[in-house]
Amino acid sequence: MICGVDEAGKGSVLGPMVVAAVAAETEDILFDVPVKDSKLLTPRQRTILYDTITERCRTATLIIPADRIDARGMTMNECVARAHAAVIRTLQPVTAYVDACDVSEKRYAQMVKSHLKKPCRIISEHKADATYPIVSAASIVAKVVRDAEIGKIAAAYGSVGSGYPSDPDTIAYLSAYIRDHRHPPPIARKSWKTVTFLMDDLFQTRLF
């Protein structure tokens, strides 16, 4: 059995990171499924592909909320490597293809391997989600699950955008919340520089 592993929301300032693994006896099971990097697909396309992938393949997902990311006590790359290993352990493939989160593909493979209890060949490459269909499938599963989590957050907190620092809607929500409450919302990654800068701006504003 082989599996592909990818994550969604690693760089988000709001909401969770979702790690997904997709496993199959052979990658040919997706031969007629137009999988690709989830960022290149529309939400509707991802949802349709998600249904096909989960029907044909075994999947495992791990949702890591903002407060756990803040309390990780390690680098973000190490955090992702542990999460990648966790979903690999669930599916127990012979070979796992992972989207490398470290500048060194070889080093990242060793990071993931160090958290596995059973032997598993780790193929670690940058942009693996664009190279291997099984990783593209994992990218789609991770993105669909994370989008669902963001939907739950929006239902509870109002429109928060995509959760990424590059999203003006996310920054507008975060800025307004911090201004009104004098602290970040529970869904924010307080250790992120984006939040730190906004809190510093609030402090400077109150000084003057």
> Which domain covers residue 195, as residue numbers?
157-207
83 with 7, same domain? yes
Closest to 141 measured CA to CA, from 29, 78, 72, 63: 63
SS3 146: helix
11-15, 42-46, 145-149: which range is least confident on average? 42-46
**Which amino acid appears at position 106 of this protein?**
K
Q: For residue 126, what are its two tokens?
A: 């940058």
Residues 184 and 137 in one domain: no
Q: Do 109 and 198 fall within a single domain? A: no
Number of domains in the chain: 2
Confidence of residue 39 (pLDDT cuts 50, 70, 90): confident
Residue where a domain stops, chosen among 154, 174, 195: 154
pTM of the model: 0.91
Q: Strand 121-125 vs strand 2-8: parallel, antiparallel, or unpaired?
A: unpaired
Alpha carbon distance 59, 169 (integer Å): 32
Through-space distance between the first and last CA atoms of the chain, rounded to whole angstroms: 62
Is the pLDDT reported for residue 95 higher than 80? Answer: yes
Mean pLDDT score across all residues of the chain: 92
CATH for 200:
1.10.10.460
pLDDT digits (tens, 9 = 90+) for 43-76: 898 999 999 999 999 999 999 999 999 998 899 9
Of 10, 26, 31, nearest to 93 by C-alpha is: 26
